[in-house]
Amino acid sequence: MADGFGAAEDAAPPRKKRIGVIGSLVWDVIYGRDTRGAPVEEWGGITYALSGLDAALSDDWEIVPIMMVGEDLAARAQQFLRTLKHMAPDASLMAVPHPAQRVELRYYSDERRTEHLSGGMPAWTWLALKPLLDDAKLDALLINFLSGWELDLETTKLIRQHFRGPIHCDLHMMAWAVQPDGLRTLRPIPDIAEWCRCFDFLQMNEDELAMVAPDPMSLAATAIAAGVSCLFVTLGKRGAIYVAAPGFDSIRDLPPRVGLATGPRGSTGGLGPVRTALVPAEHVENPGDPTGCGDVWGATYFSRMVAGDKLADAMKAAGQAAARNVGHRGVTGLASHLRGELSLT
């Protein structure tokens, strides 16, 4: 504010860094998660990753969703976004004249379930996506395939050619086909090396891994040769396996990007051994709801990496967040719960 001598107004606050999120909002109907007979209905899909980001990001970051939602649930989706503390002031969703994506989940064990899909958004075209990316002015990008067709390979390549910041991708539902009755079943992912060229960090679970390679090291050889700096395979209660490229330990070690090509890695010039280990899962006192654990894990890991954490510290934070997620029912109030705040939900 100006003083009596005509001094300039106070300087504007520093620009917050911005993390974009591409994924799908999903309305879940969940059977077998609770002991009571009635199904639970609430948001799922990308909302778990958004909650994980909201809890893990430092206050100098904000979230920019880049996603479509069906007109039938657009108002409710916008309402959910407003519950997140780190959501950018200009955050919005593209409402489209399609029925919102809905999934029926039926748990038959703590970690195993079936999924039936109905509705769903069309894939992004580069013509529609590029203006949004330009306007978003992103510093980092998280992609989580929650429908499996949010992006095709050519559009993803164009994102990588257009955006030089770090990209974390969870391939997730790309490895799941949709049968005529809506049941999702595993399927191979073609052109995995070409997909790997588009990302700095790549995540999947062990079922999805089986669709692209016989074991983590086989996939790691392909991924690291293509430019991935760290591969993660989440294993539920057993934790997660990581394979890090030579010289990689923090976001500063990412090789420079020029489109789909990568420069030398860190101080090693691309030579040297990879690092790999199984990081055990955090102990959970009272196992509850495993829905969204992988999404929270990946969002937390990426949040801590872009904040400057070392690989081991980011993975520890991710494991802790996933364990906390198990102790919370659903996504309502999840971000507060992950931050350790008291919640009435």
Residue-wise pLDDT for 239-252, tens only, equals 999 999 999 999 99
pLDDT on residue 111: 64
pLDDT on residue 11: 67
The answer to whether position 73 is within a domain reads: yes
Given a cut of 70, whether residue 172 has pLDDT beyond it is yes
**High-pLDDT (> 70) share of the chain, %:** 90
Mean pLDDT of 200-206: 96
Residue-wise pLDDT for 13-49, tens only, equals 789 999 999 999 999 888 876 655 678 889 999 999 9
Judged by average pLDDT, the poorest of 246-250, 262-266, 311-315 is: 262-266
Give the closest residue to 298 by CA, choosing from 100, 46, 99, 108: 46
Judged by average pLDDT, the poorest of 152-166, 167-181, 324-338 is: 324-338
Task: Tell me the C-alpha distance between 295 and 289, whole Å.
Answer: 13
Q: Which domain holds residue 317?
A: 17-334
The answer to whether position 11 is within a domain reads: no
Give the closest residue to 338 by CA, choosing from 310, 299, 312, 280: 299
- Contact (Cβ atoms closer than 8 angstroms) between residue 325 and residue 296: yes
pLDDT on residue 36: 54
- Contact (Cβ atoms closer than 8 angstroms) between residue 212 and residue 200: no
Q: Which residues contact 256 (CB under 8 A, 6 or more apart)?
A: 164, 262, 263
Task: Tell me the C-alpha distance between 11 and 110, whole Å.
Answer: 53
The answer to whether position 316 is within a domain reads: yes
The answer to whether position 9 is within a domain reads: no
The stretches of 166-215 forming alpha helices (DSSP H) are: 192-196, 206-209
Give the closest residue to 331 by CA, choosing from 77, 39, 43: 43
CATH of residue 60's domain is 3.40.1190.20
159 — pLDDT class (breaks 50, 70, 90): very high
Given a cut of 70, whether residue 7 has pLDDT beyond it is no
Q: What is the tally of structural domains in the chain?
A: 1
pLDDT on residue 287: 66
For residue 245, give the 3-state DSSP assignment. Answer: coil
Backbone φ and ψ of 298, nearest 5°: -65, -40
Give the closest residue to 121 by CA, choosing from 155, 154, 95: 95
The answer to whether position 3 is within a domain reads: no
Residue-wise pLDDT for 46-75, tens only, equals 999 999 999 999 999 999 999 999 999 999
Judged by average pLDDT, the poorest of 85-99, 182-196, 275-289 is: 275-289
Eight-state DSSP code of residue 149 = -
pLDDT on residue 4: 46
Given a cut of 90, whether residue 113 has pLDDT beyond it is no
Task: Tell me the C-alpha distance between 107 and 254, whole Å.
Answer: 39
Its sign, for the CA torsion 175, 188, 220, 22, is negative
- Backbone Cα Rg of the chain: 20
Mean pLDDT for the chain?
89
The answer to whether position 56 is within a domain reads: yes
The answer to whether position 182 is within a domain reads: yes
Its sign, for the CA torsion 160, 166, 170, 173, is negative
The answer to whether position 246 is within a domain reads: yes
Q: Tokens for 246, please give them.
A: 């030579």
